[in-house]
Homo-oligomer: A and B are copies of this chain.
Amino acid sequence: MLEVSGAPMRAQEIQDAADRGAPGIGLATVYRALKWLIHSGDVVLVELPGDTPRYELAHQHHHHHFSCRSCGRVFEVDGCPGDLAKLAPQGFAVESHEVVLYGRCAGCVS
């Protein structure tokens, strides 16, 4: 009933996609569905610096994101630099981290 592509989508993009399958879907309905899905843990809010909020299917595995400066699309990145706790100053307790890569995606590099 709610199609979420592999990449994090903006609420507006989700509405567009939903509207393509079932014309007449309102933004309010999209937000209502997102509210549920986030609450149930099926969807996760993804906020990248300087970008409007996006939503993606909740994955079990830890991952990060790649933002293409050319086309604006956001991709998931499986790898992780690993232990970043040692970067923090003495006495700081690191509980989690976010990594965002910027550059050009395969489609925009060529």
CB distance from A83 to the nearest CB of B (A): 9
Contact of A86 among B75, B79, B89, B91 (CB under 8 A): B79
Main SS of the interface on chain A? mixed
A69 at the interface (CB under 8 A from B): yes
Q: Which residues of chain A have a CB within 8 Å of any CB of chain B?
A: 45, 47-50, 64, 66, 69, 75, 77-82, 84-106, 109
Task: List 16 A–B pairs whose Cβ atoms lie within 8 Å, in order of A's numbering.
Answer: A48-B49, A75-B89, A77-B88, A87-B101, A88-B103, A91-B106, A92-B103, A93-B109, A94-B101, A94-B103, A95-B102, A95-B104, A96-B103, A97-B101, A98-B98, A99-B99
List the number of copies, as a whole number.
2
Which B residues touch A64, using CB under 8 A?
A: 87
Q: Are B89 and A109 in contact (CB under 8 A)?
A: no
Residues of B within 8 A of A109 (CB): 91-93
Given A49-B47, A96-B102, does the pair A82, B84 have CB atoms closer than 8 Å? no
